[in-house]
Amino acid sequence: DNPHTKAFRFREWMIGEASRKRPELVFLAEAFTRPKVMAQLAKAGFSQSYTYFTWRNTKWELETYLRELTRSSVREYFRPSFWPNTPDILPEPLQYGGRPVFQARLVLAATLAASYGIYGPVYELLEGRARAQGTEEYLDSEKYEVRNWDLAQDSLKDFIARVNRIRRENPALQSNDTLTFHRIENDQLIAYSKATEDHSDLVLVVVNLDPHHVQAGFVELPLTLLGLEPGEPYQVHDLLGGGRYFWQGERNYVEIDPRMAPAQIFRIRRRVRTERDFDYFF
């Protein structure tokens, strides 16, 4: 907690000594401070670090920040952990966006970064009440009092479990190395993909950043990424909603209603079976 308020040399010594005795330990730098200081903490040996994802909400902000984390020299030493909220911070969108914002921010955190976390049960129970207008402080904060939570009430428990299961079953989402953003002519929709090194697991994510309205557009997915020829069909399976669709070509239509689910996580199956796959054809 607040590692940037302690001497860096102490942190280096402490992490080094602890890691020699317990190499399985993971150290999270729970710090929101100047970029250079956060970078220095990572270089001091922290396994993971808090990030500015908490305040990156627009498409441009997200794409710019992720390119910095994954395509610059920062990637060599900084391991980002994305948190849509913390015990100290209730971001403004969570105060007015309702369930769709909580779901969308969870999907973004869980699929953009290899590591993510939430402060729950506050997040799970959609707690969005601020101490006062214009602040990012929780009302009745657990920092100052003991809270009892009714976990049986309406919550995101099942949604969180489903997203975590998708992460576990798709190795592509467990790394930041192949993150690629894709063009979609709607600033309220953000699209990106991740793949394993051998492309055996290829996942496309489309998120509606508007919690109040249906948003639609054509996402452009280069066929070279899929290893397909022009005109060759492929199947996409929405792991969140369950739908299966046959796509063809580089531009395909998506439409997302935030009242249903503000995101689609597609597992792409590049090869579609034909009659030649059956024994009797031969």
Q: Quote the pLDDT of residue 281.
A: 45
pTM for the full predicted model: 0.92
Closest CA to 209 of 75, 123, 132, 100: 100
Q: Which of the residues 30, 124, 127, 238 is marked catalytic?
A: 30
Q: CA-CA distances (angstroms) from residue 266 to 19, 51, 188, 260, 261?
A: 38, 26, 18, 16, 13
**Using one digit for the tens of pLDDT, what is the confidence trace for 113-158?**
999 999 988 999 999 999 999 999 999 999 889 999 988 888 999 9
Cβ(66)–Cβ(191) below 8 Å: no
Q: Which of the residues 1, 154, 198, 229 is marked catalytic?
A: 1
Q: Quote the pLDDT of residue 272.
A: 58
Residue ranges for the chain with pLDDT beneath 50: 281
Pairing of the two strands 115-116 and 81-82: parallel
Active site residue 277: no
Q: Quote the pLDDT of residue 5.
A: 86
Q: Quote the pLDDT of residue 270.
A: 74
Closest CA to 207 of 264, 167, 252, 267: 264
Q: Which helix (H) or strand (E) holds 116?
A: strand 115-116
Residue 115 neighbours by CB under 8 Å, 6+ apart: 48, 79, 80, 81, 82
Q: Quote the pLDDT of residue 13.
A: 94
Active site residue 88: no
Closest CA to 226 of 256, 208, 253, 247: 247
Q: Quote the pLDDT of residue 3.
A: 87
